[in-house]
Amino acid sequence: MNKTLKRNLSWRPTEKTAVKEHSVTGALLDLFLPSLCALCNEKEVEEVFCAKCSVDFETERLTGARCPICSEPFMSQEAVDHTCVVCLKSPPPFIEAISLYYYSGAVLNALHGLKYRGDISMAGPLGKIIRKGLAKRGLRPDIIIPVPLHIKRLKERGFNQSLLIAKEAAKALRIPLDYRGLKRVRDTGAQVGLGRTGRAENIKGAFKTVRPKEYDGKTVLLIDDVYTTGATARECATVLKNSGASISVITLARAARF
Ligand SMILES: [Zn+2]
Ligand SMILES: [Zn+2]
């Protein structure tokens, strides 16, 4: 466990301290150390990672035909963009859910490093990638909201990886970051091992908005690390939509068809 994470844990971390800790540490490191590739520690860093890791990362990019609503990729080479069966049967409460990469290879490595090995230096590069993805699509929401963790999970992990990524993207784009307005009020446990229906049922009623009036008429961008069945994104978006917002979602990665 790295020192920063250890400190966060012993401080009974909150999202606020995690962000503060990250920015102070990051600023100090930037002053005294040259930035290394967050994936392999190589000294020659290009825009985000070193040349080799950039190639590895780009190999995972979602290309080809996909669902314009949820980014579900279609395997057939001949396929053109069309609404997938899931979105047809059950139209989601969000306008679109963009995913940039497959959840495999260097992308999976980067996210596991951040999430499970507490390597928060990964948040900067991943936030930069999200920011570039948003800029490319010309998305400029009124508010950016990271998908929240339940307080129990936050204490275990010491930080919310989605908040750290969202913070970097929001700062670069100068869009307000709201990490307190949407709460995960029920501890749903891990979704791993549950099917599509199980995940949707498990997460039902897990989120609520603290000040719902603040979202009325606003465009909100939800940021999360991975999109699997979309159950989490749908549940968060439902709550925000009920508060009068229109929602888009961006995730770094999309797990293969579930
Ligand atoms: Zn590298
Ligand atoms: Zn779809």
- Whether 99 contacts 130, CB under 8 Å: no
Band (201; pLDDT cuts 50, 70, 90): confident
**For residue 55, which ligand has an atom nearest its CA?**
1
Please, which residues bridge with residue 101 across strands? 61, 253
**For residue 46, which ligand has an atom nearest its CA?**
1
Residues with CB under 5 A from ligand 1 (ion): 37, 39-40, 42, 49-50, 53
Domain ranges of the chain: 3-254
Tens of pLDDT, residues 81-101: 999 999 999 999 999 999 999
Three-state SS at 40 = coil
**For residue 227, which ligand has an atom nearest its CA?**
2
Tens of pLDDT, residues 46-75: 989 999 999 999 999 999 999 999 999 988
- Whether 232 contacts 147, CB under 8 Å: yes
pLDDT of residue 10: 35
Tens of pLDDT, residues 112-168: 999 999 999 999 999 999 999 999 998 999 999 999 999 999 999 999 999 999 999
| Ligand 2 geometric centre to CA of 225 (Å) | 18
| Ligand 2 geometric centre to CA of 95 (Å) | 11
Helical ranges in 138-195 per DSSP H = 151-157, 161-173
Query: For the chain, what is the mean pLDDT?
Result: 86
Q: Determine the Cα–Cα distance for residues 95 and 71; give it in Å rounded to an integer.
A: 12
**For residue 51, which ligand has an atom nearest its CA?**
1
pLDDT of residue 7: 39
pLDDT at 39 exceeding the cut of 90: yes
The structural architecture, per CATH, of the domain 3-254 is 3-Layer(aba) Sandwich (3.40)
| Ligand 1 geometric centre to CA of 52 (Å) | 6
Q: Determine the Cα–Cα distance for residues 136 and 100; give it in Å rounded to an integer.
A: 11
pLDDT of residue 122: 94
pLDDT at 215 exceeding the cut of 80: yes
| Ligand 1 geometric centre to CA of 38 (Å) | 7
pLDDT of residue 24: 56
Rounded to 10 degrees, the C-alpha dihedral 34/177/220/122 comes to 30
